[in-house]
Every structure is written in structure tokens, then in C-alpha cells.
A = this chain, B = another copy of it.
Amino acid sequence: MTGSSPIPRDASPVTSKGRATRARIVDAAARLVYEGGVAGTSLDDVGLAAGVGRSQLYHYFADKGELIRAVISHATDEVLDAQEPYLHHLDSWEAWESWRDIVVDVQRRRHHGGCPLGSLASELADVDERARELLAGGFDRWEAAFREGLDAMRTKGLLRADADTHALALTVLAALQGGLLLSQTRRDAAPLEVALDGALATIRAAAAARPTRPSPARPSRRNP
């Protein structure tokens, strides 16, 4: 887990039963928050969904904010895990294409519910400073995975030596978040697909002039 900071007022589980209970709480809270937002999720709901009483919530978390921050860490791991095994091997054009397909597929399976991290960021960034920092860290991890893949491609000679991998990674992440938001609002995966294709096109524009293998002209598959 990321957080090993000594926060005074909540208790870390000692027994395995305690750990399981805490995990059940965070799981349930993450699901409810994803569906109804932070403000729309009461601690009674969380307790009910997790099958625990209210006292446990306050036993393991100092207050609602602490629980929500735990949800953020949990959601970050979930989101990034859902994109493996491609996310940490985005070092070829094929990997990027496969990753794109996974992301679109996940979004479809979620019934256009938006990105857990993006929704939390939008709701909390201006309200809870510590939550904002956690979310920024989550986005950093995401972006770093993109950048490392692009760096590898540059090393391989797939990208031009002067390609700005930092900017490209940020462009992909922004397109992803914006595409998810528009898909959520329109209840249609098309905006996400278009946005991702646009970002991938930006990467291809930085392809090396004479690569080992010629970069595919434009394998844009679009569904009508």
C-alpha cells in the first residue's frame, strides 16, 4: 500500500479479520462512491453494503474524509491494474493499439460511467486538499507509465530523437480523461474512441522518419 504515514486518529487493522473488514469497507465504499459520488454516499450506505456496523467505520477511519482518501488509493490501483498488461509495456505501436482497445472495452463494460479517478478529481480537487494531492499522484503514476513506454520507443528508434515524451504522455492522459467525460455525458463510447485515436495520431506524428519497420499508415478502425 502507498500510505504508511502515521495518521493519529484512525487504527490500522492488526488481526487478519480486521484487515478483511477494512478491505470490505473500502471495497464497498469505492463502489458506492463510483455510482453516486462522494456527497451522495452516506456512511450508513457503506456500512450496509459492507455488512458492518457504523462503529467499524469510525474504528478504522478517523472520519469520512479518511475513508474517501482510502477509496482514492484503492481506485487508483484498480484503474491502473485494469489496463495491464499493456500499460507498463507501451513500447510499440501494437501495444498502444491494444491498450486503446482495452480502455474502450472497460469503458463500455462500465456502461459509460466515467473514470473513477476523474470523477473523484472533479468533485474533490477544490474541496479536500489532501485528496487533491492523492489524485494528482494517481494521475502522475498514469502519465509516468505512458512516458516510460514512449521513452522506450524513442530509444528503440520508433520515435524521433527530439520527441517530447513528457508532452505526449500528458496529451494522451488529457485525451483519455476528456474522452471519458464526454462519453459519460453522451452515454456513448464514440467520443472516447475519437479522442484516443486523435492522441495516438499525435504520437504517430512524432514517429521516426525512417523506422526499422515502416509505421503503419493509419490503421484507424472506426465503428459506424
Chain A residues in the interface with B (C-beta under 8 A): 35-37, 39-40, 113-114, 118-119, 121-123, 125-127, 132, 135-136, 139, 167-168, 170-171, 173-179, 181-182, 184-187, 191-192, 194-195, 197-199, 201-202, 205
CB closest chain-B residue, reference A195: B174
- In the bound complex, CA of A70 to CA of B114 (Å): 24
* CB atoms of A37 and B40 under 8 A apart: no
Cβ contacts under 8 Å, A168 to chain B? 198
* CB atoms of B174 and A118 under 8 A apart: no
* CB atoms of B182 and A181 under 8 A apart: no
Residue in contact with A195 in the complex, picked from B125, B175, B184, CB distance below 8 Å: B175
- In the bound complex, CA of A40 to CA of B112 (Å): 25
* CB atoms of A114 and B125 under 8 A apart: yes
Q: Given contacts A40-B39, A122-B114, A126-B114, is CB(A198)–CB(B174) below 8 Å?
A: yes
- In the bound complex, CA of A186 to CA of B39 (Å): 22
- In the bound complex, CA of A199 to CA of B126 (Å): 26
Given A170-B182, A171-B194, A177-B181, 11 new contacts (CB under 8 A)? A121-B181, A121-B184, A122-B123, A122-B181, A132-B185, A167-B194, A167-B198, A168-B198, A171-B198, A201-B205, A202-B202
Cβ contacts under 8 Å, A179 to chain B? 174, 178
* CB atoms of A191 and B174 under 8 A apart: yes
